[in-house]
Chain A
Amino acid sequence: MLGRTANGLFWMFRYLERAENTARLLDAGLRMALTRDLVTAEEEWRSVIATSGQKASYEAKHASYTGMQAWNFMLREKGNPASILSMFGLVRQNARLARNAISGELWEAINENWLVVEEQLSKPVGENRVLDTVATIRRAGTLAHGAMSGSMLRDEGFHFARAGTFIERADSIARILDIKYYLLLPSLSYVGSSLDTGQWDTVLRSVSGDRAYRWLHAGQIDARGICEFLILDDRFPRSLAFCHSALRENLAALARLHGAEGESNALMRDADTRLNDLSIDEIFEQGLHQFLIDFTKSNSAIGEAIATDYRFLA
């Protein structure tokens, strides 16, 4: 496979994951806003925008936080390079670039999704449409993953695509945890308290983990339990441990297919050593923030090593 094509597949799935994660955040934010008074809702939108990593670009354009303004910014605003509309454009562009490395079914899923999403986001999205729109976007992602799972050859292209998915997902989870941790727990003395279960509920919803968490923890919502769940529970597909274990498999498959291990495999092994056998208490001891910073760094270093190992760029 061409290095440029591998790059296209990797980023196609990173952008798809990013668009989906933004949609999940938006979903959780909308739900929160519906159950709160206006003042808290404003705080909530500030937090949603911050969690999505779009605070600076939002505040450069808007002086206040209102729901309509915030979700339109995240969904479609021109000048927001991280908007869902712009992400979908990049997903499709990378799919075109890697067109002869993906199945026809996957291409059609991406292309059809793009047409639908583009149409829905062509005009400002009002209160009456916003839930539907977010649902459409989330369905679009599900459709693409389904088409891929059911039709794509399990060759190197598949593993580049999956590596992109898991690196992006891990990055997003770590960011959500880090930002929420600080917003909610300004001093360590709060750790373990149930200061605002509503906020933690939002965190779970924004990674579609509310149901799974309730099921496993019988409704006990506390910061510690949630952190353990999102960091260490490898049964949950949106935990750091799950992402890393999937990524490890993809990287091993790539090394096998290319007959040699590279820098990315070495970095992966280091990351494994750090995460393995770590308990949530140890993480809290070294500081959650520090842990998340280290994790994010190592995660993106693996991404960069993949690009070098497999000659993504000339």
Chain B
Amino acid sequence: MNGAAEFFDEMRQPDGTVRPPYADYCKWYDGQDQRLLRRKHSEAETNFRKTGITFNVYGEDEAEERLIPFDMVPRIIGAGEWRRLTRGIEQRVSALNAFMHDLYHRQEIVRAGRLPERLLRHNDAWLPNMVGFTPPGGVYTHIVGIDLVRTGPDEFYVLEDNARTPSGVSYMLENRETMMAMFPELFLRCPVESVSDYPRRLAKSLAASAPQCSGDRPVVAVLTPGIYNSAYFEHAFLADQMGAELVEGSDLRVVDGRVAMRTTSGYKAVDVIYRRVDDEYLDPLTFSPDSVLGVPGIMDVYRSGKVTIANAPGTGVCDDKAIYSFMPEIVEFYTGEKPLLPNVETWRCADPDSLKYVLDNLGELVVKEVHGSGGYGMLVGPASTKKEIEEFRAKLVERPGNYIAQPTLSLSTCPIFTKKGLAPRHVDLRPYVLVSPDKVDITPGGLTRVALKDGSLVVNSSQGGGTKDTWVLKD
């Protein structure tokens, strides 16, 4: 195994002994018949096909439906490790929410000289019409996905904050269902925290953020761009699991100062909209006059406090990678504490000294677009050819402010099941965090993404990555 010792492995220590969280699992695994496991492995795909858990790939013809490959070796996190992580996540998410409020009000952080004003001015996700407005319950980031990577026993880093519309939670749930169906005996041997009540927690959290005008049982709807969207399956799945309506823009309109959906018995007011559309598709009157996806006038209702939009419009500012590079300052500014979860070291190419360093070391660094996502438009230096690096260099020199750079991290590995047995592959972790006026709720687990190619560091499903079931063990 090439370079196995260079990377921290979730299952085994460098000397080959099993790490404690994997003790029960490995004992079980060693007693398994490999042929049987191989058969189960191929059955898993059939199971996903049957349930229809697919995503549509951007740029493919006729919205072809693909499966995200599933690996059946779980990623296991010990109870103690998870407790430390949750403290860091809670701190970070609370800071993000406070940051959003400040950005759209007094901008104390800019006044204090801790964040350059230009980062807001040049941020496409910044929405002037959110200024001076506080969403119901003061919550901006109702659902957050924090992307974490690990490089050592106690070294977790935040790679990205997803505060706009984080996706993938249906895979967290379906991966667990699939694992339980394939290996019920494992769950009798290993004390795994349940994730299956996520939809109930989500429904509760959204209801708690409902506007004051709503009744005892706030009406929640999931807003989807429609069946051709890459994550439609997830939208339908979450609506179904929450017992909420799944609406498209054309189902909604403003009636008597409320947002209402067209039901079979007429228009009915909606209290909370869990939107899975981008800001610019919310309201054609405010954002994009030629959009057919939005609801004309919804922003006026929002600003009058008669509907909750989750996440709040304008939260995309947090996903910007230039803002990300200031997260340590942001956490400290709003919580008065040192960040418990560190950022990955980040060079802002807008800064001339950093740019020089980045250009001199392109072959070793990972360079990302500040507004990019999904693994598109990035350079992974060590995995790129000379030609690719030179092409990227030209783009970087032309618009340095559009990029940030990070060291190529030694992401931890976790074994995947292959025809030849277990083999280590790099992984990351996205826990899902729910924010309501009274609490931050973190579901124990999350989505583990895994690079299926040997040596690859890119885990994005759009780039051929897969997923694993993620276990948090009970104490």
Task: Indicate if A237 sits at the interface (CB-CB under 8 A).
Answer: no
Interface SS of A by simple majority: helix
How near does chain A come to B181, taking the closest CB pair, in angstroms? 13
Q: Which residues of A contact B420 (CB under 8 A)?
A: none
Of the stretches B15-23, B245-253, B336-344, B467-475, the one at the interface is B245-253
B50 A108 Cβ-Cβ under 8 A: yes
Q: State in angstroms the CA–CA spacing of A1 and B51 once bound together.
A: 23
B227 A2 Cβ-Cβ under 8 A: no
Q: Which residues of A contact B248 (CB under 8 A)?
A: 4
Q: State in angstroms the CA–CA spacing of A160 and B263 once bound together.
A: 13
Of the stretches A93-101, A179-187, A210-218, the one at the interface is A93-101
A4 B52 Cβ-Cβ under 8 A: no
B263 A100 Cβ-Cβ under 8 A: no
Mask for B233-258, Cβ within 8 A of A = 1, else 0?
00011011000111110110000000
Q: State in angstroms the CA–CA spacing of A111 and B67 once bound together.
A: 14
Q: State in angstroms the CA–CA spacing of A280 and B266 once bound together.
A: 42
B245 A6 Cβ-Cβ under 8 A: no
Task: Indicate if A27 sits at the interface (CB-CB under 8 A).
Answer: no
Q: State in angstroms the CA–CA spacing of A291 and B117 once bound together.
A: 78
Task: Indicate if B130 sits at the interface (CB-CB under 8 A).
Answer: no
- CB contact between B264 and one of A2, A96, A112, A314 (< 8 Å): that residue: A2
B236 A100 Cβ-Cβ under 8 A: yes
Nearest residue in A to B238 (C-beta to C-beta)? A100
Task: Indicate if B49 sits at the interface (CB-CB under 8 A).
Answer: yes
Q: State in angstroms the CA–CA spacing of A259 and B265 once bound together.
A: 9
Q: State in angstroms the CA–CA spacing of A100 and B262 once bound together.
A: 16
A-facing residues in B376-434 (Cβ within 8 Å): none
Task: Indicate if B232 sits at the interface (CB-CB under 8 A).
Answer: yes
Q: Which residues of A contact B49 (CB under 8 A)?
A: 111, 115
Task: Indicate if A78 sits at the interface (CB-CB under 8 A).
Answer: no
- CB contact between B262 and one of A3, A97, A259 (< 8 Å): that residue: A3
With contacts A1-B263, A111-B51, A310-B264 taken as known, whether A100 is within 8 angstroms of B246 at the C-beta atoms is yes
Q: Which residues of B contact A3 (CB under 8 A)?
A: 251, 262-264
Interface residue range, chain B = 20 to 34
Q: Which residues of B contact A258 (CB under 8 A)?
A: 264-265
A-facing residues in B247-291 (Cβ within 8 Å): 247-248, 250-251, 261-266
Task: Indicate if A88 sits at the interface (CB-CB under 8 A).
Answer: no
Nearest residue in B to A156 (C-beta to C-beta)? B264
Task: Indicate if A73 sits at the interface (CB-CB under 8 A).
Answer: no
B236 A2 Cβ-Cβ under 8 A: no
Mask for A151-164, Cβ within 8 A of B = 1, else 0?
00000100010000
Q: State in angstroms the CA–CA spacing of A314 and B261 once bound together.
A: 10
How near does chain B come to A53, taking the closest CB pair, in angstroms? 26
Mask for A132-163, Cβ within 8 A of B = 1, else 0?
00000000000000000000000010001000
- CB contact between A108 and one of B51, B227, B245, B246 (< 8 Å): that residue: B51
Nearest residue in B to A109 (C-beta to C-beta)? B50
Q: Which residues of B contact A111 (CB under 8 A)?
A: 49-52
Mask for A248-271, Cβ within 8 A of B = 1, else 0?
000000000011000000000000
Mask for A1-37, Cβ within 8 A of B = 1, else 0?
1111110000000000000000000000000000000
B227 A311 Cβ-Cβ under 8 A: no
Task: Indicate if A107 sits at the interface (CB-CB under 8 A).
Answer: yes
With contacts A4-B251, A310-B264 taken as known, whether A100 is within 8 angstroms of B51 at the C-beta atoms is no
- CB contact between A2 and one of B50, B51, B52, B262 (< 8 Å): that residue: B262
Nearest residue in B to A94 (C-beta to C-beta)? B227
Q: Which residues of B contact A100 (CB under 8 A)?
A: 236, 239-240, 244-246
**Which of B49, B246, B264, B265 is packed against the most chain A CB atoms within 10 Å?**
B264
A311 B236 Cβ-Cβ under 8 A: no
Mask for B68-84, Cβ within 8 A of A = 1, else 0?
00000000000000000
A2 B240 Cβ-Cβ under 8 A: no
How near does chain A come to B169, taking the closest CB pair, in angstroms? 16
Mask for B213-231, Cβ within 8 A of A = 1, else 0?
0000000000000010000
Nearest residue in B to A97 (C-beta to C-beta)? B227
Q: Which residues of A contact B266 (CB under 8 A)?
A: 311
Q: State in angstroms the CA–CA spacing of A33 and B50 once bound together.
A: 36
In the complex, 13 of the A-B residue pairs with CB atoms within 8 angstroms, ordered by the A residue number, are A1-B245, A1-B263, A2-B264, A3-B264, A96-B52, A99-B240, A108-B50, A108-B51, A111-B52, A156-B264, A310-B265, A311-B266, A314-B250
New A-B pairs, 11, CB < 8 Å, besides A1-B263, A111-B51: A1-B245, A2-B247, A2-B251, A3-B262, A96-B236, A99-B236, A99-B237, A100-B246, A108-B52, A115-B50, A311-B264
Q: Which 4 A-B pairs have the closest CB atoms?
A: A100-B240, A99-B236, A310-B264, A100-B239
